[in-house]
Structure 1
C-alpha cells in the first residue's frame, strides 16, 4: 500500500480513513450486494426455473414487487460494520506487512509479500465481520421478509432461537472468502502500481489508484466468489439441534453445490458482485488514500 511509502500514521487515523472509504463505497454500491445475495441463495430444482434469471431481472422484480427501498434492505448492518471492517482491512494489512518484512529480513514489499500480507489481513478482518454478515444475509433473503423487523430484532431472534454462538455461523467460510479476496486485492494492486506509469500529479495518482483498486477488486472477486456463495447459504441456514445442516463447511459445501447444480452455480451472483467490488475496490483505495493524505497534511 502507498501508506508504507509515506509517513506512517497512528491506528486512529487508519480507522477513520477506513471508515470513510468503506461507507462511501457501501452507499454507492449496496444495491448490487442485495441482488448478489438474492441470486446466490437461489437453489435450482428439477422442473422449476430460477426466480431471477440475472442481475437486471432481479433488480426489476425487486423494485416492481417489493419497492425501490428493498434494494437498501439490510444496509444498517454493513454500515455499522464498515468502520471496524475497513479499518481492520487496511490497518491489518499495514501492520502484517511490518511483521512479515521483519520476519523475512527485507525492507520493502514485493508481490509475494503483498499476497501473504493481504491474506493474513483478510483472516484478521473475518473475525470482525461475521456477525454483521450473518445478520445482513438473513435480512436480505426474501423468504425472511416477515420474520426479521430490523437489525436488533434479527440479532435477538438468532440468539434466542439458535444460541449466541450462531452469530458466528459461517466463520470458516468467511475466513476463506476474505483470505482469497484480500490476497487477490492487495497482491494485484502492488503489481498494477509497479507496471503502470508513475503519476506526476494528484489527479494522476487518483486515476492510478482507481485503476489499481478496480483491477484488484475484480481479481479478488474472481478468486473468492465460490466461497462467498457457500458462505451465504451457510449463514442463511437456521440451525436445528440434532440436524446436520446441508451447508456446513466451506469446501464440502462447494462440492455439494457443484455436484447438484453444476460448476457455474459457484459463480451465482458474480456479475453484480464484480460490478460492485471491481469499481468498489477502486473507490475504497482512492478514498482511503485521499483521507490518509489529508491527515498527513494536517500532521505536517
Structure 2
C-alpha cells in the first residue's frame, strides 16, 4: 500500500488550499467581526455641569464623565470584506498566511487523506467493492482527529496571520512567515501556544473529514449506482460540491470558536479573554446571539464548495496520472 494515498492527498490538498486561500482569509475576518466590540470597554462621554435653583438655594451637579454602551458594529458581507481588505491592505493581503496554509495542508490534510485511504482500503468489502457509510464516517473521524493534532501549530499560525490585518498597526504581530510565527509563539508564549485551541481543531477536523470524505464517497457511489452520470468530471464536481455543503454546515460553529480562541491576545500578567472553548462559546452567544456561531457561513460554504471541488477533482486526476505512469510509492 505504501504512502501513495498520503502523496496523492497531499498534492490535492495543497493545490486546493492555495486556490481558495483568499476565501478562507475573508471567512476568518468575518468570524472575528464583533469580537473586539464585545470585549471593549464602554465609551466614556462627558456630562457638563448642571445647576438647579430651588427657592433661595442653588443645587450644582459637577461635570463628570459617564459610560455609555458603544453602538453595535455594522455587519458586512463577503464581497464588502474582500473589497475592504484590498482597499486598505492591498491585493496581496488576500494571500496573507498562505505559507501557513501550505504547511497546514502538508501536515494536516496529507495525514488525514492518507489515513482515510488506508482505512478505506482495509475496510472495503471485497465482494461489493464498497464500504458501509458508518465505516466511512468512523474512518473520517479517526483520520481527521489525528491529522488535526499533527497540523495544529500551522493552523494557529495561519489564523493569526490571516487576522493580523484587522488590528491597529501598533497591535499587529507582523509575522514574516509561518516559520517566524511559530518561532515567535514559542519564544513569547511558550511551546504550548502552538496547540492552543487544539481540542477545537481536532473536533472540527473530525467533523469536516467525516462529513467531507465520507459524503463524497457516498454521493459518488450513489450517482454511479443510479446511473445518473458516468464516472468523470461531472460526477466528481457534483459529489464534491454536495460534500462541501455538508462539511460547511457541520463544522461552522466549531470553526468560529476555534478562530477566536486561536486569535486571542494574552497579555503578560492578565487573564486571557477566553478560558477555553466553552467559555468562548458562552461569551460569543451572550454578546452577539446564537447566530454568531454561523458567522462567516457564506464564505465558509463559498470556500468549502470550491475547496472540495478542487480537492477531489485534483485527487482523481493525480490518481489517474499515477495509474497511467504506474507510479509505485
TM-score grouping bracket, smaller chain normalisation: 0.7 to 0.9
Counterpart CA distance in 2 for 1:220 and 1:75 is 22
Question: Hey, what does 2:292 align to over in structure 1?
Answer: 265
1:110–1:190 Cα contact (<8 Å) kept:
no
Question: Hey, what does 1:6 align to over in structure 2?
Answer: none
- 1:54, CA displacement in angstroms? 1.1
Question: Hey, what does 2:2 align to over in structure 1?
Answer: 10
- 1:239, CA displacement in angstroms? 3.5
Question: Hey, what does 1:185 align to over in structure 2?
Answer: 212
Question: Hey, what does 1:79 align to over in structure 2?
Answer: 102
Counterpart CA distance in 2 for 1:23 and 1:191 is 24
Counterpart CA distance in 1 for 2:275 and 2:181 is 21
Question: Hey, what does 1:20 align to over in structure 2?
Answer: 11
Question: Hey, what does 2:77 align to over in structure 1?
Answer: 54
Question: Hey, what does 1:5 align to over in structure 2?
Answer: none
Q: Does 1:196 align with 2:220?
A: no
Question: Hey, what does 1:149 align to over in structure 2?
Answer: 175
Question: Hey, what does 1:96 align to over in structure 2?
Answer: 119
- 1:150, CA displacement in angstroms? 1.4
2:97–2:158 Cα contact (<8 Å) kept:
yes
Deviates more, 1:268-277 or 1:14-23: 14-23
2:265–2:273 Cα contact (<8 Å) kept:
no
Question: Hey, what does 1:39 align to over in structure 2?
Answer: 30
Question: Hey, what does 2:42 align to over in structure 1?
Answer: none
Counterpart CA distance in 1 for 2:210 and 2:149 is 17
Q: TM-score, normalised by structure 2?
A: 0.79
- 1:252, CA displacement in angstroms? 4.0
- 1:50, CA displacement in angstroms? 3.1
2:216–2:242 Cα contact (<8 Å) kept:
yes
* Partner-residue secondary structure (3-state), 1:109: coil
- What do residues 74-111 of structure 1 show as CA deviations (whole Å, max 9, x unaligned)? 11111122223322121111223356669xxx984111
The structure in which a higher percent of residues are strand is 2
* Partner-residue secondary structure (3-state), 1:196: helix
- What do residues 28-72 of structure 1 show as CA deviations (whole Å, max 9, x unaligned)? 211111101111112254533436511111011111111111111
Counterpart CA distance in 2 for 1:248 and 1:218 is 31
Task: Count residues in correspondence.
Answer: 287
Counterpart CA distance in 1 for 2:121 and 2:267 is 44
- 1:155, CA displacement in angstroms? 1.9
Q: Check 1:144–1:27 CA distance in 2 against 1; reply closer, same or farther (3 A cut).
A: farther
- What do residues 1-30 of structure 1 show as CA deviations (whole Å, max 9, x unaligned)? xxxxxxxx421x223322321222123211
Deviates more, 1:187-196 or 1:106-115: 106-115
- What do residues 133-177 of structure 1 show as CA deviations (whole Å, max 9, x unaligned)? 111111111227642231233222211111011111110010111
Question: Hey, what does 2:264 align to over in structure 1?
Answer: 237
Q: Which structure 2 segments of 5+ residues have no match?
A: 39-68
Question: Hey, what does 2:187 align to over in structure 1?
Answer: 160
Q: TM-score, normalised by structure 1?
A: 0.86
1:100–1:117 Cα contact (<8 Å) kept:
no
Counterpart CA distance in 1 for 2:213 and 2:119 is 12
Counterpart CA distance in 2 for 1:148 and 1:191 is 43
2:237–2:309 Cα contact (<8 Å) kept:
yes
Question: Hey, what does 1:69 align to over in structure 2?
Answer: 92
Q: Which structure 1 segments of 5+ residues have no match?
A: 1-8
The structure in which a higher percent of residues are helix is 1
Question: Hey, what does 2:57 align to over in structure 1?
Answer: none
- 1:274, CA displacement in angstroms? 0.9
Counterpart CA distance in 1 for 2:299 and 2:129 is 39
